[in-house]
Structure 1
Amino acid sequence: MLGKVIGKGRTAEVMEYGEGTILKLYLNEVPEHHVDWEYHISTYAYEQGVRTPRPVELAAEEGRKGIVFQQIHGSPLLKLMGAKPWLIASYAKQMAALQYSLHQLAGPGEAGEQKKRLKQNVIAAPMLNMEEKAPILSQLELLPGGNKLCHGDFHPDNVLMDGQLWVIDWMTAGSGDPAADAARSIVMFSIGAMPKHASLFTKVFLGFARKRMTSQYTREYMRLSGVSRADIEAWILPVAAARLVEWLPVSEKEQLVREIRKRLRSLPSAR
């Protein structure tokens, strides 16, 4: 039985659903195969021992498809960072360690799945012309495929804390190169639309917090993994371009495009 809505994102609503479970009910525009994939990959991650809510079953309510999950009584790290900004560095390091632990596991599908998806999304990306996409696709072609478990949407709103950390939202997960997954997290940490009508103080604070989180996360991830900054940087362009196909505010897409064009101008072939 449906209970109260306890969360809402760009693709789904989360509501109470019986004792000890929640229902993630997807919006009508989300294709059914995306829901099926999230159920499959969430189950795979749970069975690998990842601390993620146990997927119980696929469900349908009000003509919409959903997944029933174990309920976790924790707060998103994003909310905790806002409440205790002096702990941002600590939270960022914990996130890096958690993501690194995921990257030690084998991916669920064929090697290079993540890279194929990136290629499709770059080709389909709005706001870029083919002259801009061509060097991005050429760069992507040279990057490794990889076969490790990559979350694909690893950011502070998809990590819950109830004394320990839990990872949620696996729809974009797959097999790939850990450096690409880290690059995507860095793009999400550092490029994001400011809240509408935010005060100057809020904008300055969020800008500072974002830089602090990004630098601490990157440093810690590199320390743990041995991956170089150059390894991560090589993925930023294709990851940023692929992100343009997602449900993002126009202002955030415009930020992404500015960053993409800046990086394109600095490519050796553009000089």
Structure 2
Amino acid sequence: MKLEKKNLIVERPYKSVYKTEEGVVKIFVTDHPKSAVFNEALNTVKVEETGLDIPKLKEVTQINGEWALVIENREGKTLEEMMKIDRANLEKYMSDFVDLQLKVQSKTAETLPKLKDKLANKIRNLKVLDATERYELLTRLESMPRHTKLCHGDFNPSNVIVEKNGKMTVIDWAHASQGNASADAAMTYLLFALHDQESADLYLKLFCKKSDTARQYVEQWLPIVAAAELEKDIRLEKDFLMKWIDVMEYE
């Protein structure tokens, strides 16, 4: 399989994504855990089995000694691109975005990892919070309802492809889990708020209205999700995430 620089779509510290004749190829750096590659492959297949129409996994392979995933290609623009180009129609795009998220969350995926367990493990391992802060977060997490809805874990407009016929499809299921829809909404809210508070507020307003969920309930998840994201140790986002942990009063 030939990977050319001109066909590079995305480049991250741990992976590069190319568009090829075989499909979209995600190639991971040598020291990226093999288990993480196979976990993403397995998550993708489990999401396929819910009946959700997503780009299908075609192959797990090695290219020049590095692990890679080959995934079906869906031609189109990301919803993020469309939102930036056509800001005047932001509310329409956001409404469609929320509808798509609710469609995802209407599926159950009881063989995927449990979101509450993933969040708890991340918070327990945090070094930037003291034991009291970790205890308060874990106590709040334990009190939250345990659901089995399909959660994407990184649901944002850059992971939504809009095809030429207007159909939208969701990509990148590396962080998929089963859990509480409002926890996944809290993650999406934080992803918006990191760059654009106006879009974040519009998103949360529409999500709560369409799902008939109290805003306060989603907000209860914000310090938990923000703390779990600290585990990634991305320095650029640390102060932003700490603000959301500190701003919420623990019950």
Instruction: Report the equivalent of 1:157.
Output: 158
Residue of 176, 186, 194 corresponding to 1:183: 186
Change (3 A) 1:106 1:22: same
Instruction: Report the equivalent of 2:244.
Output: 259
Identity of aligned residues (%): 26
Q: 2:101 is aligned with what amino acid?
A: Q
Instruction: Report the equivalent of 1:37.
Output: 39
Shift of 1:62: 2.1
Instruction: Report the equivalent of 2:119.
Output: 118
State the distance in 1 between where 2:128 and 2:142 align: 21
**Structure 2 runs not aligned, ≥5 long:** none
Shift of 1:3: 2.7
State the distance in 1 between where 2:250 and 2:231 align: 23
Shift of 1:224: 2.2
1:121-155 per-position Cα deviation (integer Å, ceiling 9, x unaligned) = 11122422222212111111101121111111101
- Aligned residues, how many? 246
- Does the Cα contact within 8 Å between 2:46 and 2:109 map onto a contact in 1? no
Shift of 1:175: 0.8
Q: 2:187 is aligned with what amino acid?
A: R
Matches within 5 A, 1:60-79: 60-79=62-81
Q: Displaced runs of 4+ in structure 1, greater than 6 A?
A: none
State the distance in 2 between where 1:144 and 1:134 align: 18
State the distance in 1 between where 2:110 and 2:152 align: 11
State the distance in 2 between where 1:89 and 1:211 align: 14
Q: TM-score, normalised by structure 1?
A: 0.84
The alignment partner of 2:3 has SS state of strand
- Does the Cα contact within 8 Å between 2:222 and 2:244 map onto a contact in 1? no
Residue of 81, 84, 87 corresponding to 2:86: 84
Q: TM-score, normalised by structure 2?
A: 0.91
**Structure 1 runs not aligned, ≥5 long:** 193-209
Change (3 A) 1:171 1:256: same
State the distance in 2 between where 1:99 and 1:41 align: 17
Instruction: Report the equivalent of 1:2.
Output: 2
Change (3 A) 1:105 1:83: same
